[in-house]
Amino acid sequence: MTVQPDDDRPATVLLVEDSDTQALRIRYMLQGHGFTVERVASGEAALDTLDSHIPDLVIADYHLPGMNGGQLARQLRMNAVTRTIPVLILTEGIEPGLEREGLESGADAYVPKSSDSELIVFRIRALLREYAGNVRARPGRVFRRARILVVTPRHDATTDGGKVGALIDLLQRDGHIVTICADPAHFDRQILLDPERAPDCVVVDLTVGGFDGVVFCRRLDELRQEVLMRGGVPLRILAISPPCPDQREFSARVFETGVDDLVPDDVAPSVLALRIRVLVRRKLLQDDVRRIEVERQNREIAIKSARAEAAAIASKASLAEALEQANRELADANRKLIETQGKLVQTAKMASLGELVAGIAHEINNPLAFILAHKDTVARGLERVMEMEDASTDTGRDGREAILRKCRDRVASMNLGLRRIQNLVLNLRKFSRLDEGLFQVIDVPEALETVLALLTQKLGNGIVVHRDYTAPERLYCQAALLNQVIMNIISNAADAILEAAERDNPLSDTPAQGRIDIRTELRREGEDGTPHYVFTISDTGPGVAPEVQERIFEPFFTTKPVGAGTGLGLAIAYGVVQAHQGTLTVANRAQGGAQFTISVPWRAQDSDDAHGRADGPAPKGHAPGTQAAAGGPASGGQAGQA
């Protein structure tokens, strides 16, 4: 009698064995104890079967053609769906070091084939008890082998028996799909933007003459940022560095392009494969997190649909019973709606924070890398100056001045990098100090400039922002009005411009060109002419289709691809504006592009009184707040660009 899964069916075992004789013997043994056995002859074939069904346990021979049993176990542990499958490795004998290697790869047990069959079955039963309730087969693709692109102009990379050929062989034995690009000049950039073909890691060989690999890495990083802005998980970049006289300065140049790891040319292929394996593991884990979040959202939608169907069935009951049931459901739905609104706001905040953190971390990492490199150059130069014995001669004086000039140039570069980091931290502090739940005095120009600074990476060099701040600088409101709402609208405008440029000219490497206009003004609206503080944000994108305008503020409605948008940003923005008794509208401009208009009631005494007693009690009907710091950009029709 064997262990049964939760659904009372026989446990399924995936047997990975290249020997027909051994496979037949093990199959008979397992079937004799009630197991269902499926056999494949290689680790690669085992990975391919996981898309159709998930076994309860995997038994693999260690010595397999291509990837061995330990490498197969490692691949299973890198996927969120398959990492809980028990893995039992069989071998002809306990060779020195193999058991340790197999267990470190992620296997759960290591048993010689010569062991008693009853002992093997006992080990299988123990593993199935421990891992009872494994994830079963699910629709769609659940396992994907990592894709690696090797960019090297060496036309004989796979046949010369050298380091690149050995590296490719090791990566293929790990179960990865390896592609070689021997002509970087004709590299198809669209591959990186296609989730079904995009590599998880790109290895760039900088050791071949006549190939400007630094420029190529910079272009890869630009494409990676585009993938990030579309909501995808960016690929990893590893470069192989050639020997050069000033290795530190060359490394600083390469890291400035955005590469994730730089490996010297003299490193062993096995170590290089290990470095690539680390990058790929991090990338695949991020893919799993993103996939799980999409599945969670789909489950929530399915639950809501099921509740709607249940309500329709209940309506067929008697009127009195249906009315009583409806009252109970209405009270429960109202309570859940309040909870869901809070969760949706938090989800949108976390989505915005994730996008900002990814960009800001990249912005900080680059200047930090070349600051560290330049620091060592300055230190070596100062040591040489101190060691110079005679500086009175012309030769000694000229040598010292040359070294000091080089140190001065490096210090200037370090200063620029430090100022970039300082500005990023300052803008984050301004952004995070706003208490979004409270009404308080906000310096509108300063808050708008903080939002634009945090969106600098998305706007790039081609999107110009024009300001026209004619309204008063201070507004008494919730900080979320400028934080969550304005940031979401400007970010969507930038996305629209970038998508239009990509659609019109997909092969262009030049930054997308466009313009975003931000205007603040006071208007008198309504029959009584109540003053309103109005924000107008317009862009030169493709505009908003009429059918989209009707649904643009609905929760979960989005025109972006799956995984690139949640459909919550504008829905939450609409709710924030309503909380201010204001309006949020969208229209298309006559000259092209979309225009969002935010209008909230404004009273001069509210702003002045709140400003004068920022530390005292808040006006009636509002939560207490604190005065925002002054010192933002001047208003009154100024225009500029981000």
CATH code for the domain of 565: 3.30.565.10
Residue type, 350: M
Torsion region of 586: left, alpha or beta (phi above 0 gives left; psi -120 to 50 gives alpha): beta
In a domain, 310, yes or no: no
* Inter-residue contact 599 to 534 (CB < 8 Å): yes
- The number of CA neighbours under 13 Å toward the Cβ of 29 is 18
Rounded distance between C-alpha atoms, residue 247 and residue 413, angstroms: 18
Neighbours of 316 (CB within 10 A): 7
pLDDT band at 16 (very low <50, low <70, confident <90, very high): very high
Indicate if 400 and 454 belong to the same structural domain. no
Residues 9-18: b if buried by 16+ CB within 10 A, e if exposed: ebbbbbbbbb
- pLDDT tens, residue by residue, 538-594: 999 888 888 888 778 776 667 666 545 555 567 777 877 887 888 999 999 888 899
Residue with tokens 């709606």: 337
Q: Are residues 153 and 263 in the same domain?
A: yes
Q: Does one domain contain both 521 and 600?
A: yes
Indicate whether 333 belongs to any domain. no
- 237 vs 406, higher pLDDT: 237
What is the number of domains present in the chain?
Answer: 4
**Spatial CB neighbours of 475, under 8 Å, sequence gap ≥ 6:** 441, 442, 444, 481, 533, 600, 602, 607
Reading the block at residue 398, the tokens are: 């000229």
Same domain, 457 and 408: no
In a domain, 559, yes or no: yes
d(CA 467, CA 490) in angstroms, rounded, equals 13
**Which burial class, exposed, middle or buried, applies to 212 when counting CB atoms under 10 A from its CB (0-12, 13-18, 19+)?**
exposed
Asked if residue 599 lies in contact with residue 547, where contact means CB atoms within 8 angstroms, the answer is no
CA-wise closest residue to 484 among 531, 548, 437: 437
Rounded to whole angstroms, the Cα distance separating 168 from 180 reads: 9
Q: pLDDT tens digits, residue range 603-640?
A: 776 565 544 444 333 333 333 333 333 333 333 333 33
DSSP secondary structure code for residue 515 in this structure: E
Q: In the prediction, which pLDDT does 434 show?
A: 44
Would residue 455 count as lying in a domain? yes
Q: What is the CATH number of the domain that holds 190?
A: 3.40.50.2300
Is residue 547, in this structure, part of any structural domain at all? yes
Q: Which residues pair with 516 in a beta bridge?
A: 465, 539
d(CA 267, CA 105): 23
Q: Which phi and psi (to 5°) does residue 587 adopt?
A: -155, 170
Residues 510, 604, single domain; the answer is: yes
Asked if 258 contacts 362 with a C-beta cutoff of 8 angstroms, the reply is yes
| CB neighbour class for 194 (10 Å; exposed up to 12, middle 13-18, buried from 19) | exposed
Q: Is the Cβ–Cβ distance between 113 and 92 less than 8 Å?
A: yes
Per-range mean pLDDT, top range of 167-171, 244-248, 569-573, 595-599: 595-599
- For the chain, the maximum distance between any two Cα atoms, rounded to a whole number of angstroms, is 109
Tokens representing residue 204 in the block: 């760039």
d(CA 3, CA 598) in angstroms, rounded, equals 63
* Sign of the Cα pseudo-torsion (42, 44, 46, 49, in order): negative
- Tell me the residue type at 607: S
* Three-state secondary structure call for residue 39: strand
Q: Per the domain annotation, does 56 fall within a domain?
A: yes
Q: Which of 361, 396, 422 delimits the end of a domain?
A: 422
Whether residues 124 and 252 fall in one domain: no
Question: How buried is residue 394: exposed, middle or buried, by Cβ count under 10 Å (0-12/13-18/19+)?
Answer: exposed
The token pair that represents 491 in the structure block: 């970010």
Return the pLDDT at 396. 66
Can you spell out the DSSP letters for 51-70?
A: TT---SEEEEESS-SSS-HH
Q: Is there a domain that residue 471 lies in?
A: yes
Instruction: Clarify whether residues 374 and 465 are in a common domain.
Output: no
Three-class SS state of 627: coil
Region 335-358: mean pLDDT is 59
In the predicted model, what is the mean pLDDT of the chain? Answer: 76
Which tens digits make up the pLDDT trace of 420-431? Answer: 677 666 655 555
Q: Which of 411, 413, 389, 412 is nearest to 400 (CA)?
A: 389
Domain that holds residue 409: 340-422
Domain end among 380, 402, 422 = 422
> Do 448 and 575 reside in the same domain of the chain?
yes
Q: Quick one: 43 and 19 in the same domain?
A: yes
| Band of residue 402 on the pLDDT scale cut at 50, 70, 90 | confident
**Is the pLDDT confidence value at 179 over 60?**
yes
User: Of how many residues is the chain composed?
Assistant: 642
Q: Do 168 and 81 share a structural domain?
A: no
What pTM value is reported for the model?
0.38
Other residues' Cβ atoms within 10 Å of the Cβ of residue 612: 11
Q: What is the pLDDT of residue 633?
A: 34
Which pLDDT score, from 0 to 100, does residue 3 have? 46
pLDDT in tens, 151-161: 887 655 554 45
pLDDT, average across residues 482-493: 82
* Pair (124, 152) in one structural domain: no
First to last CA, the chain: 72
Last residue of some domain: 130, 162, 182?
130
Residue 360 lies in a domain: yes
Q: Taking a C-beta distance cutoff of 8 angstroms, is the pair 279, 260 a contact? A: yes
Q: Tokens 């706001």 identify what position? A: 345
- Regarding whether 445 and 538 lie in a shared domain, the answer is yes
Residue 84 in contact with residue 50, Cβ under 8 Å?
no
